[in-house]
Structure 1
Amino acid sequence: MFKALQITQPETGYRCDLTELDESSLPEGDVTVQVAWSTINYKDGLAITGRSPVVRKFPMVPGIDFAGTVTDSQHPRFKPGDRVVLNGWGVGETHPGGLAQKARVKGDWLVALPAGFSERDAMAIGTAGYTAMLCVQALQDHWAARGVAAGSGEVLVTGAGGGVGSVAIALLAALGHTVVASTGRPAEADYLRSLGAADVIDRATLSAPGKPLQKERWIGVVDSVGSHTLANACASSRYGGAVAACGLAQGMDLPASVAPFILRGVTLYGIDSVMAPMARREAAWAALDRLIDRPKLAAMTRAINLAEAIQAGHDILAGQVRGRLVVDVNA
C-alpha cells in the first residue's frame, strides 16, 4: 500500500482525497518509481479543484510531475537506483501522476536527473521552472539569430510572483538581462528584486484592454498570463522583439491585433512543456543545472506534505502562492 491523492467524480460531485492505494492499482508502464518529491503547479490546482477539465479519466492521481528513484525497469535507458524526473506527457490528467509515493510510467517519458540536483531541487524547479527554461531558451535562440546582446534592453516577466515567473526572473538575471517583473502583489517587490528583477510594475498596467500598438519597450517577454496581458506585451514589444507565451492565468483569449507582428516584426512563440520532445527536455534540464542559483531556488521554495497539497491546489488558483511549493509525498 502507498499514500496518494486521488480525484474521483461520484454522484455527489468532484472530490480530491488523501487515500491509500494498492500497488495493483498502478497503471501499465515499463518503469516503476519510488517518488520522493512532487510539487503544485497551476495545472495541478485546476486538477485538484476541478475548476477546469484537466482530468479526463477517473479515478485519477493528480500531479503533473515528480522526482524519485527507479525501483523496477524493463526500459533500456533505466535501471533500479537511477534518479529520474518527469514533466507532463498527460501524467496527472490521463495517466496517474506524481502526488503519490509510487508511480509507474513509460520510460520514454523520463529524464535522468542531473547529478547537481537533489529530488527536492528538481521539484523546486518543477514543470513551472522547466517551462520557464523553455521560454528563456526560445528567447535566447531568437536573440542569437538577430545579434541581440544581454543587457541591450528590458525583458518583461508577467505573473512574476508565480512559479514560472520566479524561475524566469532568476534565469534571465543570471544571463545578464535587465528584467522587469509584473505582479499584482506589490508586497512581493522585495522578493522579486532578490531574484534578480531590476524593476517591478503593477500588473494593472498590462491587464486592461490596450491600444493595438503601444510605445516600444521590451526586447523579450515571458508571459504566463495570457488574455489582455499577453496582447499588451506584444503591443509594447520593440521592433524584432519576441514573446514566449506559456500560460493562461488571466484567460485563454488573445484580444490582440496583427499590428505588432506585421509592423514591428514581433515574434510570438508558443511554449508547450507537456509534449516537448526528449532532446529539448534534456537540454532544458542541463541548462537549469548550469544556470539556476541554488540559494535563489531555495528562497522561492516552500515545502508541504501530501495532505496539505489539496488546500495548496486552491491557494495557487487564488494567487496566494509565492514562488514554488514542493510536496514531500513521504511526510
Structure 2
Amino acid sequence: MNRFLAYRLHDDSPDGRVAGRFTELRFDNLPPGDVLIRVAYSGINYKDALAAAGRNAIVRQYPRTGGIDLSGHVAASDDPRFREGDAVVVHGFGIGVDHDGGHAQYARVRGDWVMRLPEGLSPLEASTIGVAGYTAALALHWMEHNAMSPEQGPVVVSGATGGVGSMAVDILSARGYMVHAMSGKSAEHAYLRSLGAGEILSPEVASQPGKALEKAQWAGAIDTVGGPVLAWMMRTMQPNGVIASVGNAGSPQLDTTVLPLILRGVRLLGINANSPMALREAVWAKLAADYRPRRLATIGQVIDFDALPDAMDRMLSRATRGRLVVRMDNESPDLERGL
C-alpha cells in the first residue's frame, strides 16, 4: 500500500524528446538513501523547468524525478541524526538532477544531504524560501563578510522579479539597505516596490558598452543575469563595492576589464549554492532570524501538484514571478492507508 505520485521525466518518446508524466511509484522504486521523507512542498526553479524541457543537458540519466529543493517530514530513517517526524529541508547535492528530487510525494536521500529546519520555520516557509532564497541569503552573507553595510550606499539587484531576485530585494530591504531593482517587466513595478525596492531600473541601462569605469553608484550588487548586466555593474561600482554573481539567466559571457578590480578595489564574489552543510546551517539560521524574509506571502504562490507541468511551461516563457511552491497533498487517505 506504499503508493505515491511522482512527476517523472522520460526520454522514451519516438523523437527522443524529454517529456514528463505523473507516475504512481512504490517505496522500492526510490533510489538508495538512509532517510525517507514525506514531501510537503517543493519549489519550482528555473533549473527544474529547463530540465523538464530537456534543455541544457541538466539531466543525463532517465527516468528522473525533478525538483532541486524540497521540505517535509522524516517518514523513516536509518541515520541516527534524524527521527520520524523531524521537519527537514533538502536542496542541492544533485537531487532533481542526478538523484530523484522533490517533485514527488516521497523522496529517499542520504542523511548527509538532510538539514533539520531551524526553529521557527515551517515546511511551507522553507520551500517558499527554497534554494532561491538560500542563494540570495548566501550572497548577502558573503557580501557582509566583505564589509558591505547599509550606510555605504544603495545595492542593485538584477532579475529582480525572479525567485532569487525577489528574495534578495526583500531580505536586503529588511536589513536596512536601499535597494534598486532591475527588471524588464514594467507590469511588475508595484510588486517590486511592495518587496521594498526604492528605485526600479530597466536592463536597457546596461545594454550599451561603456567606458572601463563609469560613474560610481553602487555599494553592492546581486546579479542573477550575467553578460552585459554584470559587466555594467562592475564599471559602475563604488570603490570597495561588492558584487555577488549568482546566475547567468542572460548570458554566461563576461566582457569587461580588470580596472574596476585594481583601481576601485571592487570585489567580485562567485556564489555556489551547493555549499557544505556547515555553511548551509549557518545561513539557514540567519534566514530564520536576521535574514528572515518579511514578505513570503507576496513572493510565494502555492499551487497543486497537478498544476506543476503548466507552471514550468510558464516559467520558461518568463510568465512567472517570485517563487512557485508545489503542495504535495500527502494527506490523501488513499495514500496514508497502510504506511
- The interval holding the TM-score normalised by the smaller chain is over 0.9
Q: Amino acid of the residue matched to residue 212 of structure 1?
A: A
- For 2:116, the equivalent position in structure 1 comes to 112
Contact 2:167 2:293 in 1 (8 A): no
Shift of 1:152: 2.4
Shift of 1:292: 5.2
Which has the larger displacement, 7-16 or 78-87?
A: 7-16
Kindly, what percent of the aligned residue pairs are identical? 43
Deviations, residues 138-176 of structure 1 (Å, cap 9, x unaligned): 111112xxxx54132010100000110111111111111
TM-aligned CA distance change 1:260 to 1:139, over 3 Å: same
Distance 1:109 1:219 in 2: 35
Distance 2:149 2:173 in 1: 13
Contact 1:180 1:198 in 2 (8 A): yes
Q: Amino acid of the residue matched to residue 297 of structure 1?
A: L
Contact 1:4 1:306 in 2 (8 A): no
- For 1:39, the equivalent position in structure 2 comes to 43
Deviations, residues 42-66 of structure 1 (Å, cap 9, x unaligned): 1111111122211122110000000
- For 2:200, the equivalent position in structure 1 comes to 200
- For 1:162, the equivalent position in structure 2 comes to 162
Q: Runs of at least 4 residues of structure 1 off by over 4 A? A: 292-295
- For 1:179, the equivalent position in structure 2 comes to 179
Q: Name the TM-score, length of structure 1 as normaliser.
A: 0.95
- Mapping for residues 200-279 of structure 1, pairs under 5 Å: 200-274=200-274, 276-279=275-278
Of the three residues 5, 10, 23, the one matched with 1:8 is 10
Mark the runs of 5 or more structure 1 residues left unpaired by the alignment.
none
2:84 is paired with a residue of what secondary structure? coil
Contact 1:38 1:67 in 2 (8 A): yes
Q: Amino acid of the residue matched to residue 284 of structure 1?
A: V
Distance 1:120 1:211 in 2: 46
Shift of 1:264: 1.2
Shift of 1:210: 3.6
Contact 2:170 2:293 in 1 (8 A): no
Distance 1:294 1:278 in 2: 21
Distance 1:292 1:48 in 2: 31
Q: Name the TM-score, length of structure 2 as normaliser.
A: 0.93
Shift of 1:117: 1.4
Which has the larger displacement, 126-135 or 256-265?
A: 256-265
Shift of 1:207: 4.0
Distance 1:322 1:175 in 2: 22
Shift of 1:115: 2.5
Shift of 1:208: 4.4
Q: Does residue 1:81 correspond to 2:80, yes or no?
A: no
Which has the larger displacement, 283-292 or 22-31?
A: 283-292
Contact 1:179 1:199 in 2 (8 A): yes
TM-aligned CA distance change 1:222 to 1:294, over 3 Å: closer
Distance 1:47 1:304 in 2: 19
Distance 2:140 2:57 in 1: 29
Distance 1:6 1:135 in 2: 32
Shift of 1:295: 5.2
2:273 is paired with a residue of what secondary structure? coil
How many residues in Structure 1 have an aligned counterpart in Structure 2? 326
Contact 1:208 1:229 in 2 (8 A): no
Contact 2:175 2:291 in 1 (8 A): no
- Mapping for residues 66-105 of structure 1, pairs under 5 Å: 66-105=70-109
Shift of 1:291: 3.6
Distance 1:6 1:267 in 2: 42
Contact 1:61 1:92 in 2 (8 A): yes
Deviations, residues 94-130 of structure 1 (Å, cap 9, x unaligned): 0000000000001111111122111111111011011
1:151 is paired with a residue of what secondary structure? helix
Distance 1:72 1:209 in 2: 56
- For 1:60, the equivalent position in structure 2 comes to 64
- For 1:133, the equivalent position in structure 2 comes to 137
Contact 1:133 1:284 in 2 (8 A): yes
Q: Does residue 1:296 correspond to 2:295, yes or no?
A: yes
RMSD of the TM alignment (CA)? 1.4
Shift of 1:307: 2.1
Distance 1:200 1:58 in 2: 42
Shift of 1:209: 3.7
Distance 2:234 2:145 in 1: 18
Contact 1:18 1:306 in 2 (8 A): no
Shift of 1:211: 3.3
2:65 is paired with a residue of what secondary structure? coil
Q: Amino acid of the residue matched to residue 328 of structure 2?
A: V
- For 2:309, the equivalent position in structure 1 comes to 310
Q: Does residue 1:17 correspond to 2:13, yes or no?
A: no
1:265 is paired with a residue of what secondary structure? coil
Contact 2:18 2:52 in 1 (8 A): no
